[in-house]
A and B are shown apart, each in its own frame.
Chain A
Amino acid sequence: MTEQFEPTIIGFTCNWCSYRAADLAGTSRMKYAPNVRLIRMMCSGRLDPTFVLRALSGGADGVMITGCHPGECHYIEQNYKALRRFLLLRRVLTGLGIEPERVKLVWASAAEGARFASETTAFVEEIRKLGPLNWGKPVAALENLQEEVSKLEEVPA
């Protein structure tokens, strides 16, 4: 039989809670699946939904968004904004024909290393069951985003 499909997952963490939860999982030597690669942002509210689309179209099979528990956001209430975007994003993904289960939102406080580890492993298995995404051929990375944008701004007379 063919070898097992190993999903690639991008995880967005917030500097104050979930990133520290990942660190705590590490300090506590908790083991979890190696398929997740983390990006640190200051807050889950920083999450631009286009990042998720970038990740999925770039070869990721799933995206995990993490942040502080509602009510405990370091910046007071920005995680609620992340939640709003996440909910809308799922609807957009469904419209694009992508299983909304490929994007998961997990709240984890800095003390919840175990939770971070278990949620990660669980998510990897869920994605494994869904199979690889293979979202078309990835467009080459735009070297100079600003240049491309300014080219678009030139409107013919």
Chain B
Amino acid sequence: MKQYAYYPGCSLESLATSYNLSTLEVAHNLGVDLKEIKDWNCCGATAYFPVDELLAHTLVARNLALAEKDGLSDFVAPCSACYKNAYFTNAYLKKDPDLAEHINYALEADNLHVNGTMKVRHLIEVFIEDVGLEEIGKKITHPLKGLRVAPYYGCQLLRPRKENENVENPQFFESLLSALGAEPVDYPSKTRCCGGSLIITNRKAALDMVHILLQDAVNRKADVIATTCPMCNVNLEVYQGQVNREFGTQFAIPVMYFTQLMGVALGIKPGKLGIGKELVSGEPVLAFAY
């Protein structure tokens, strides 16, 4: 069975433990062998790159080097920011020998060397492309029939654009949700930014962006918003209360990780998927678990 180098990232250890739990459960169920990279470090998320690009790249590259050392071919990240950082640092390593030289000079201190040979994937990609929608469909025991899900891709999953990707109107998340038996909602805001770290530095601007996303999901009569990134999830869920206060709305829409939805459909107990810990109750989804 193919082993994937698993890079959970910092969020999955703190705010997004439910993402980590559900990821591991679903992966186990589908036969995806995720081997967590030993001694991985933070990827710098969005904050570090504007501070010092070279150091930020090196930080990311250390994780790639660790994965390469393990002899694995695929580097899988569930968080879109970690994914984006790993993808592009990996790509630049190959294109810019000068950068690679600098990075490797630093990595030497840790007896590491990075070659840029890893294939960097987002978790959702691995499930859709490597396991396949058909296989997933076969293992569904509790199809999410009638559950209207807004597929929130978020922006860093798709942008910056990689080769030949449809970033304006991708459909792969919808396909996955359909395979789970759910009803993907037509959600034009699906690739809009959630505000990301702006929620900390410019609260008002970020809340405005979150408001747009929530309003659109509610307008489209979604029961739940599915996310692929802990930052997006936090912004949409944790700050719903603040959005309500700021804009006078009354949103109470659950926001869950796509792996949690997959887990429920695959018949895994909600408790094991970290369901029950949300701020906005995941009731509509829970209904399918039994």
| Touching chains A and B, CB distance < 8 Å | no
**Contact surface of B with A, Cβ cutoff 8 Å:** none
